[in-house]
Amino acid sequence: MRRVPAQFSWVDQRLVRDRHLDRLDVVAAALYLFLVTVADAQGLSWYGDASTARRLSIDCERLRRARGDLVRAGMLAYAKPLYQVLALGDPPTPLHNAAGSEAPSVSAAPVSSRAVVSEHLAALHAALGRRP
């Protein structure tokens, strides 16, 4: 039987149920899982690019792309050096490719997601004592 350790993190089941995960490639999904695991109760993490990339066995450029995908998906706010995993919102609108089937990648975030991310980034900058 599984035992919950003292340093337990949780993953919102809506990540799969509401198909948020379907919009991410494997690297963005791995980054999200890593950040959910290491973040504090407010979803904050200060892991640097080099150590995060090393732990995920990817280069820093691939890490930046994955982070951008998560920000555009409204799942993450980032203001170097601070990450914040955001609460999952409503199920994403499926993206479709030219053949009419769902495309498994993130294009652009809906306006509401960008607004939420902007608000979170402004709050992060304020907490760090910087202006956006």
Instruction: Give the model confidence (pLDDT) of 6-40 as tens digits.
Output: 766 678 888 888 888 899 999 999 999 999 999 98
Kindly list the domain boundaries of the chain, sorted by start residue. Answer: 14-90+106-128
CATH number of the domain located at residue range(s) 14-90+106-128 in this protein: 1.10.10.10
User: pLDDT tens across 107-132, in order?
Assistant: 334 444 556 666 766 776 677 776 55
Neighbours of 117 (CB within 10 A): 22
Task: In whole angstroms, give the CA distance from residue 103 to residue 126.
Answer: 37
Query: Which tokens in the block code for residue 12?
Result: 């919102």
pTM (predicted TM-score) = 0.67
Rounded to the nearest angstrom, the gap between the alpha carbon of residue 54 and the centroid of all alpha carbons in its chain is 18
Reply yes or no: is the peptide bond before residue 81 cis, omega within 30 of 0: yes
How confident is the prediction for the chain on average, in pLDDT? 79
User: pLDDT tens across 74-88, in order?
Assistant: 999 999 989 999 988
Amino acid at 104: P
Query: Which tokens in the block code for residue 124?
Result: 């992060």
